[in-house]
Amino acid sequence: MLLRSINIGPLTIHLYGLIIALSIYLGWLLAKKRAHIYKIPQKIFDDPILLVPLAFAIFGARLYHVLDLRDYYLAHKSLIFAIWNGGLGIWGALIGAFIGFWVISKVKNVNLLSILDLAAPSLLLGQSIGRIGNFLNQEAFGPPTGFPWGVYISPGNRPIQFANSTRFHPTFFYEAAIDLVFLVLLLFLTRKLRISGQTFSLYLIFYATGRFIVEFWRIDTWVVGSVKVAQILAVLTLIFGVATFMRARHKP
């Protein structure tokens, strides 16, 4: 059984939260090292205002997850804020983070597109590392598989229809690997992009493509009828990303 928390006296450290904190820190560190590219002052990285997009992202991520499993949380209201048990929807996090970055651009008088371009690789890095938390919590996995890389899921975390299966597709690792590949590609292409908004547009294109593909193996995501909400959002995000990238290309 995977270790999910560490007890140090009266203190309990949840490894899921530790992984999320690590992903946020490394994303912050990467953005700080690249800030000169977009002429964003270093002092902003020590400003408490950076907590605004973080707070909005966590709120949006949890809201998306709770709406996804609304029947469960209506019956277990005390668990709505128990984020240490897992349950952060990335689409909600992205919307929340975008709102937070918009607030920063207004308060600090910094170009929003520059902030988004700077944040794009950090988002991919954070998303990739964050998927390790899904592995520790045994969530966000795919259907049963006989492939040697299938991961063991404990009986308590298996869907009822797969109660007799032991190994499942590690979709969290699939997405983590795709995000890392796109991260390297995005960092390489950033050196060739000179128009504001193009790096963030590529991020939207990359992430939407990867998420749309991985969703074919996910068995626990929000479904309306027979359509996965995450795939609908991925398609819309992909269209928006392509449109904004092409629009930026035609700017003088």
Task: Give the pLDDT confidence of 149-195 residue by residue, as tens digits.
Answer: 999 999 999 999 999 999 999 999 999 999 999 999 999 998 888 88
Task: Give the pLDDT confidence of 87-108 residue by residue, as tens digits.
Answer: 888 899 999 999 999 999 999 9
Torsion angle of the four alpha carbons 22, 25, 30, 33, in this order, in degrees rounded to the nearest 10: -140
pLDDT at 105: 95
Determine what percent of the chain is predicted with pLDDT higher than 90: 74
Look at the chain and report how many structural domains it folds into: 1
pLDDT band at 24 (very low <50, low <70, confident <90, very high): very high
Task: Give the pLDDT confidence of 189-223 residue by residue, as tens digits.
Answer: 988 888 899 999 999 999 999 999 999 999 988 88
Residue 15: phi and psi, rounded to 5, are -65, -30
pLDDT band at 11 (very low <50, low <70, confident <90, very high): confident
181 is a domain residue = yes
Q: How far apart are CA 99 and CA 95, in angstroms?
A: 6
What global pTM score does this model have? 0.90
172 is a domain residue = yes
Can you give the residue range of the structural domain that contains 62?
A: 13-249
6 is a domain residue = no
4 is a domain residue = no
7 is a domain residue = no
93 is a domain residue = yes
5 is a domain residue = no
In the chain, the largest separation of any two C-alpha atoms, in whole Å, equals 61
Q: How far apart are CA 38 and CA 40, in angstroms?
A: 5
To the question of whether residue 158 is assigned a binding role by annotation, the answer is no
